Amino acid sequence: MHPTSHYLTIHQKELHYLQWGSSQNPTVILSHGLARTSRDFDDLAKVLANDYHVIAPDMLGRGLSQWSPEPQKEYCLEFYAKLMTELADQLKIQSMRWVDTSMGGAIGMVAAAGPLKERITHLVLNDNGPQLAEAAINRIRSYAGSPASFDTVTELENYFRQVYTPYGWLSDEQWRRLAESSVRRLPDGKVTPHYDPRMVMQFTEHENDYLRWKEYDSLTCKTLVLRGENSDLLLADTAQQMTQHGPKATLVTVAGCGHAPALNVPEQIAVVSDFLR
């Protein structure tokens, strides 16, 4: 099964999304990480599309979505949640399950605690929580804010293989797809990751944007936390606290991964599918 590609204008911004499966089925929103794109969920979406209407957006400033003309103001969780609420409104989605990775989970938390509180029924937080390790945030900022450039896509793929080693096992075909769906060409002819580097202004202009215990404690939806066993972003103690606060999430530790499990292999996909059912 292949997705269809669509564009919507939301708050005067053009957002791109992929759609899988029948719109007559229950909806699942797939929300990607900080410097990633909707294509990260291709393997998961193919399976979920048998039972669900799957929507995978490129967040503002990523992939094929428009870059923000006001990066200091708009690259933040509150605005991202506002965009996703309007996307759901335009697509007439009244109820949804939300699956994500990293930043996508923070958006899900803010949305499920606020504008989509009555509409998100299931929330999967893939290596994200209401408190993140500062050292890991700084690590991510260091490479995301100054993206490397290369002469060839092959060199870019090798770079991704190094930077995203914590994702766990990916096949050669999956690594190639990740590279080819994450590339844009610069004016000098070199290639670089497909996002607006200014999105890291979130960390300088919106202090503590990822400190979200208030929102987490107010969640009422069913919640699953996936934590890479070697994650340096979602620490084990924080993940354990998430089972005792707010929605009292179910915690699953994913072996062989750090930040963040790629949700690309049958074992991980099965955990998500079983929870959504």
User: Across-strand partners of 120?
Assistant: 96
Choose among 176, 173, 177, 193: nearest CA to 185. Answer: 193
Please give the single-letter amino acid code of residue 187.
Answer: P
Chain-wide mean pLDDT for the chain? 97
**Are 224 and 125 contacting, i.e. CB atoms less than 8 angstroms apart?**
yes
Domain count for the chain: 1
- Chain length of the chain: 277
CA distance 246 to 137: 24
User: Across-strand partners of 123?
Assistant: 98, 223
Tens of pLDDT, residue by residue over 238-258, are 999 999 999 999 999 999 999
Distance of CA 208 to the CA centre of its chain: 19
Strands (E), the chain: 4-10, 13-20, 27-31, 53-57, 96-100, 120-126, 183-185, 191-193, 222-228, 250-254
- In sequence order, what DSSP letters do the residues of 213-229 get, joined into one string? HHHHHT--SEEEEEEET
The DSSP element (H or E) to which 43 belongs, if any, is helix 42-48
Average pLDDT of the residues in 150-177:
97
**Are 62 and 131 contacting, i.e. CB atoms less than 8 angstroms apart?**
no
- In sequence order, what DSSP letters do the residues of 142-207 get, joined into one string? HHHSS---BSSHHHHHHHHHHHTGGG----HHHHHHHHHTSEEE-TTS-EEESB-GGGGHHHHHST
pLDDT number for residue 143:
83
For residue 140, pLDDT over 90 is answered with no
CA distance 179 to 159: 9
Which residues in 224-243 are b (16+ Cβ under 10 Å) and which e?
bbbbbeebbbbbeebbebbe
Q: CA angle at residue 94 from 90 to 99, to 5 degrees? A: 90
Tens of pLDDT, residue by residue over 141-160, are 888 889 999 999 999 999 99
CA distance 223 to 38: 22
For residue 139, pLDDT over 90 is answered with no
Tens of pLDDT, residue by residue over 204-242, are 999 999 999 999 999 999 999 999 999 999 999 999 999
Tens of pLDDT, residue by residue over 20-65, are 999 999 999 999 999 999 999 999 999 999 999 999 999 999 999 9
Domain that holds residue 21: 4-276
Residue with tokens 């103001």: 73
pLDDT number for residue 239:
98
Q: How confident is the model at residue 73 (pLDDT cuts 50, 70, 90)?
A: very high
User: What's the CATH number where 44 sits?
Assistant: 3.40.50.1820
The token pair at 230 is 């070697």
pLDDT number for residue 102:
97
pLDDT number for residue 210:
97
pLDDT number for residue 141:
83
Q: How confident is the model at residue 277 (pLDDT cuts 50, 70, 90)?
A: very high
For residue 1, pLDDT over 80 is answered with no
